[in-house]
Amino acid sequence: MRRPVTIFTGQWTDIPFAEFAAKAAGWGYDGLELACWGDHFDINKACESPTYCDEHKAVLTNNNLQCWAISAHIIGQMVLDINDARSDAWVPAELQGKHEEKAAWAIEQMKKSAVAAKRFGVSVVNGFTGSSIWHLIYPFPPLGPDDVKAGFDLFAERWGPIFDVFQENGIKFALEVHPTEIAYDIYTARMALDAVGNHPAFGFNFDPSHLLWQFVDPVQFIREFPDRIFHVHVKDAITTLDGKAGILSSHLSFGDHRRGWDFRSPGRGGVNFEEIVRALNQIGYEGPLSVEWEDSGMDREHGAMEALEFVRDMDFPPSTISFEAGMREHAK
In this prediction, what percent of the chain has a pLDDT beyond 90?
94
Q: What is the pLDDT of residues 297-322, one digit of tens each?
A: 999 999 999 999 999 999 999 988 77
Residue 141: is the preceding peptide bond cis (ω within 30°)? yes
Digit-coded pLDDT (tens) for 89-130 = 999 999 999 999 999 999 999 999 999 999 999 999 999 999
If DSSP codes are grouped into helix, strand and coil, which group holds residue 169? Answer: helix
Give the integer Cα–Cα distance in Å for 295 and 303.
8
Q: How far is CA 20 from the centre of its chain?
A: 20
Q: Using an 8 Å Cβ cutoff, are 261 and 240 in contact?
A: yes
Q: Report the pLDDT value the prediction gives residue 321, as an integer from 0 to 100.
A: 78
Per-residue confidence band for 194, with pLDDT thresholds at 50, 70 and 90: very high
pLDDT one-digit tens code per residue, 35-90: 999 999 999 999 999 999 999 999 999 999 999 999 999 999 999 999 999 999 99
DSSP 208-265: HHHHHTTT--HHHHHHH-TT-EEEEEE-EEEE---SS--TTGGGPPTT-TTSSEEEE-
Q: What's the distance, CA 38 to chain centroid?
A: 18
Other beta carbons within 10 Å of 95: 20
Name the CATH architecture for the domain at 5-331: Alpha-Beta Barrel (3.20)
Model confidence, pTM = 0.96
Contacts of 135 (CB under 8 A, 6+ apart): 82
CB–CB of 55/95 below 8 Å? no
d(CA 168, CA 155): 20
